[in-house]
Amino acid sequence: MDRRRAPAVRFNTTGERRYRYLRQLGHGSHGEIWLVFDRFAERNVALKRVRASSPIALLRFKREFRVMAPLQHRHLVRLIELTEDEGGPFFTMEFVEGEDLRSLLERKVSSLGLGKRCGLARELARQILPTLGFLHERGIVHCDVKPSNLLLGVDGVIKLGDFGSLAQLRGSTTRSLDDGTAGTPRYMAPERLSKQPAVPASDLYSLGLVLFEILAGRRPAEPREEDGERSAGASFPRFDEMLPGVPRDLANLGEALLRPNPQHRQDAGHAILMLGADVTPPPDRSSSVRKVPFSNTRRRDILGWVALRLESVRDGLFGSCIFEGPRASGKTAALAWTHEFIRGFGGFLLPARGRPDERTRYNVLDGAVDVLAGALLEIPLDAELARDVRIASAAFPVLAGAQAQSAARSRDDALEGLFRIVDSMAGRDGIYISIDDLHFADADSLEVLDRFLQRQPAGVGLLGTVRTDFENPAVLRWLEGRPKIERKKLGSESGATL
């Protein structure tokens, strides 16, 4: 790769003010990564831009950021900010000074003695096994553990990166994205090659193949197409027989990770114990917001208030429920209970969340539109709905799915198309747009919500949370001017236990 060539996508005026291009770090079929200097933060960061125009690629790209950005772990590459410009969406992430494991193996693995290879494999296992356990506990499967996604920092810290292939075991509203095709076949577990759903054990098999490559000094064999089975992985002999001189604990670990049946593999927690290593996973800092418990009486009171306001949605009218209060007053917990209530009677939920590190247009609505796009991928579209999808895709490209994206249309036309899609998806028990942290809403989002409120579509509910002590009171002023929105104040005086 010629690192001196000009970037394939030029930043717009805003991007040029903030980021200074340095060099390309990598590229693939769906995206490219650049090293840039962030003038605002005064540091180098990596910038990943989605390159494919496919709506599914856009959905995966934004899901990568939204799932991983809230997580903080010493051995995970930290995602910083999601933005978009005329060239499409991109996000920034920490730049790891060092090299990836693939580069190291290609550069010097043949010159490393067995002792150094064993040391590298042991250190990789010690650092990455607890990291995979951290992800798996949160219902996330990486799905692409391989040498090029393992970054070796100059400080000795190994980080796992590139979350574009991840699968979610729970809470995912875009199941069609996890179709078994994402990932790298050479490092896939047998069940993934057979197009079975990803499970945590799939990541552990991939790590086992990486350890084998380090110890053997060669890449694992490419899988055969026959019956979707991995010719080498499905019948690995004992590590110590294939690789004489490998310490017993490393050989046992490799064999435990490479068992063909995923149910017979060790989980990450037990696997690390096989090395006899005293490893304590870093503390969970995935959320800085304190969870606020409510008494059962208070929970019943909140759900009773919700039920009265959402009953109108099931009757074919418009309804709303907005929880507001200061930080750590229990708003998000109340919204989560509302989600359980809606799912309990079969309502269709479009959850979204406002975030300070997202600067997309329609920022607090973008996630809900993504969920809607995922749902549209899974149902047949009649001619009228397909037409509305094409029209709305002019403003929201992820909606296009298998449809051809619309040519340029006015913003009004695109929004009307979106509203008609929401109307048609309401169904018998209603459709519910839910925005946690609505106080981060940009002007475009508030304008769309205004138009939505003016229509008061039948069978549609608007849910959300708003912080009353947020430094930008624009959304509070907006709420005060919308008397049709039902609001409930929460706080210590409302029964929350801080």
The per-residue pLDDT for 72 is 92
Q: What is the pLDDT of residue 438?
A: 95
In angstroms, the CA 98 to CA 392 distance is 44
With tokens 């042991």, the residue in question is 122
CA atoms within 13 A on the CB side of 355: 18
Task: Dump strand ranges (E) for 293-430.
Answer: 318-325, 348-353, 358-359
CB 133 within 8 A of CB 268: yes
Q: What is the dihedral of CA 479, 481, 483, 489, to 10 degrees?
A: 30
Alpha carbon of 110 to those of 113, 114, 123, 221: distances in Å? 8, 10, 19, 18
Neighbours of 3 (CB within 10 A): 9
pLDDT in tens, 257-266: 999 999 999 8
**Per-residue pLDDT at 232:** 43
DSSP character at residue 112: S
Q: Answer for the pair 359, 18: CB distance below 8 angstroms, yes or no.
A: no
Q: What is the largest CA-CA distance in the chain?
A: 76
* Beta pairing class for 431-436 and 348-353: parallel
Determine the pLDDT at residue 497: 32
Structure confidence by residue, pLDDT tens digits, 207-219: 999 999 999 888 8
CA separation for the pair 466, 459 (Å, rounded): 23
The predicted pLDDT at position 284 comes to: 52
Residue 177's pLDDT is 61
Residue spans of the domains in the chain: they are: 13-94, 98-273, 296-494
DSSP 394-458: TT-GGGGTTSPPPPP--HHHHHHHHHHHHHHH-TTT-EEEEEETGGG--HHHHHHHHHHHHH--T
- What's domain 296-494's architecture? 3-Layer(aba) Sandwich (3.40)
pLDDT of residue 53: 63
The per-residue pLDDT for 377 is 87
Which parts of the chain sit beneath pLDDT 50? 1-15, 176, 227-228, 231-234, 287-289, 493-498
Single out the residue of 327, 324, 315, 190 nearest to residue 259, CA to CA.
190
Q: Which of 181, 179, 167 is nearest to 138 (CA)?
A: 167
The enclosing H or E element of 489 equals strand 487-489
Q: Phi first, then psi: give them for residue 324, nearest 5 degrees.
A: -135, 150
Q: What class is the 98-273 domain?
A: mainly alpha
Give the CATH H-level superfamily of domain 13-94.
Phosphorylase Kinase; domain 1 (3.30.200.20)
Q: What is the dihedral of CA 252, 258, 260, 265, to 10 degrees?
A: 60
Q: What is the pLDDT of residue 74?
A: 95
Residues whose CB is less than 8 angstroms from the CB of residue 492 and which lie 6 or more positions away in sequence, other chains included = 329, 498
